[in-house]
């Protein structure tokens, strides 16, 4: 196979199947439930009911899935969570994992 063809196939793979990343929020003992619900509504675009369910899942299971995104968007969400948490004085953490 020619180098040009190999490059074409690689390009197709990258364009059509960009890697996806799961973003999770982690439980802790100090962040208020209301703050987590607000984060889930404003950063992860959940409805109030969805946000409450995800927050309770994290509270019980130690982490919860907030969404699946491309690398750049997932990274932005993680940074937004950390910045908002620091500003509000909560230790809430978000992590991302390749799907
Ligand atoms: N465990 C926290 C409490 O009891 C609530 C909480 C939920 C914190 C989800 C973080 O990602 C979290 N106040």
- What pLDDT digit, counting tens, does each position of 38-56 carry? 999 999 999 999 999 999 9
Residue 60 tokens, joined: 């019980």
- The contacts of residue 29 (CB under 8 Å, 6+ apart) are none
Element (H, E) at 94: strand 94-98
Report how far ligand 1's centroid is from the alpha carbon of 7 (Å).
47
* pLDDT at residue 35 greater than cutoff 90: yes
User: Average pLDDT, whole number, for the chain?
Assistant: 96
Give the integer Cα–Cα distance in Å for 80 and 37. 15
Which of the four pLDDT bands, split at 50, 70 and 90, describes residue 5? very high
Give the pLDDT score at 18.
87
Question: CB atoms < 10 A from the CB of 49, how many?
Answer: 8
Which residue, by CA, sits nearest to atom 12 of ligand 1?
27
The atom number, within ligand 1, closest to the CA of 33 reads 5
* pLDDT at residue 1 greater than cutoff 90: no
Which residue, by CA, sits nearest to atom 5 of ligand 1?
33
Give the integer Cα–Cα distance in Å for 29 and 43. 21
* pLDDT at residue 15 greater than cutoff 90: no
Residue 68 tokens, joined: 């699946």
Q: Are 97 and 52 in contact (CB under 8 A)?
A: no
Which residue, by CA, sits nearest to atom 2 of ligand 1?
29
Report how far ligand 1's centroid is from the alpha carbon of 19 (Å).
29
């Amino acid at each position: 196979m020619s180098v040009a063809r190999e490059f074409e196939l690689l390009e197709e793979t990258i364009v059509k199947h960009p890697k996806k990343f799961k973003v999770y929020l982690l439980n802790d003992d100090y962040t208020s439930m209301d703050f987590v619900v607000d984060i889930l509504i404003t950063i992860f675009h959940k409805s109030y009911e969805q946000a409450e369910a995800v927050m309770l899942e994290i509270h019980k299971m130690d982490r919860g899935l907030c969404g699946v995104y491309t690398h750049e968007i997932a990274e932005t969400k993680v940074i937004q969570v950390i910045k908002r948490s620091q500003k509000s004085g909560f230790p809430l953490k978000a992590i991302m994992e390749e799907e």
